[in-house]
Amino acid sequence: MSATAALPEGQEEGGSQTVKVQLKLREMIFAGELQAGARITELAVVERLGVSRTPIRAALIRLEQEGLLQQLSSGGFAVRTFSENDVADAIELRGTVEGLAVRLAAERGVSESLQAQAAQCLDAIDVLLQALTLDDDAFSSYVHLNAQFHGLLGQLSGSSVLQRELARVGSLPFASPSGFVVVQANTPQARDMLVVAQDQHRQVLDAVARREGARAEAIMREHSRLAQRNLRDAVRRPDLQDNPVVGMRLIRPN
């Protein structure tokens, strides 16, 4: 591995430094700087990032837990590849957990302030979608607001257990709510798909407000199907395979 700019050393080599290394390595994997199947060792990362071994070891273990790396019997780690089914299953799992979250929210009830917060997030998305075409900045804003809304779903449930599970599931490779939004940004159907997704957002919030748990859960399960459709389209478009944003090179068709 060639040397690159060192990450800044913190006063402690614990959590914050580990997170920095974890984010940097994830970025390098998705950008193709660490290719699928490439062997990664602690010493090589020390040389490349200029960080001591303690946070690097912890970051590599976390990336293995996320599923981006696999530990080798000979030592070190390797960048994983994923089948289309692997990714579809992760998206399905997120939809299942989110469905449970909104069903519990509807059954248990949600405070007006939290409902208003979620509605304000969707209002901001509506403003973005008023444009007939979306530029890169608009798509970036959508990704941020979409992540914010999906993050609120756990809070709507009132369950700390579900909030933790949603965070865990969302960190699985390619399973985040906007995992395939940016890669579709330049397609003619991009805005149309976001409009459909936004309507589902509105419908699930309405179902929660009306205390219709089964309806809310069904909508979120269907919402995950839209993400799976984006996945299928992305895998089958050869011009997207080199997209560095979502690491399409790591996904192989079934």
Q: Which helix (H) or strand (E) holds 87?
A: helix 84-108
**pLDDT confidence band for 192 (50 / 70 / 90):** confident
Q: How far is CA 94 from the centre of its chain?
A: 10
Which of 54-68, 95-109, 187-201 is predicted most confidently?
A: 95-109
**pLDDT score recorded for residue 168:** 87
Lowest average pLDDT, out of 66-75, 96-105, 167-176, 197-206, goes to 167-176
User: pTM value?
Assistant: 0.76
Please answer whether residues 152 and 117 qualify as being in contact, where contact means their C-beta atoms are separated by less than 8 angstroms.
yes
pLDDT at residue 156 in the model: 96
**75 φψ region: left (φ > 0), alpha (ψ -120 to 50), beta (else):** left
Burial class (CB in 10 A: 0-12, 13-18, 19+), 132: exposed
Lookup: tokens for 139 = 């798509």
Of 33 and 146, the one with more pLDDT: 146
Phi–psi pair at 48, nearest 5 degrees: -80, -40
Task: Give the chain's domains with CATH numbers.
Answer: 15-81 (1.10.10.10), 83-245 (1.20.120.530)
What pLDDT, in 10s, does the model give residues 97-122?
Answer: 999 999 999 999 999 999 999 999 99
Report CA-CA distances (Å) from 92 to 62, 122, 160, 164, 220.
Answer: 22, 23, 21, 17, 10
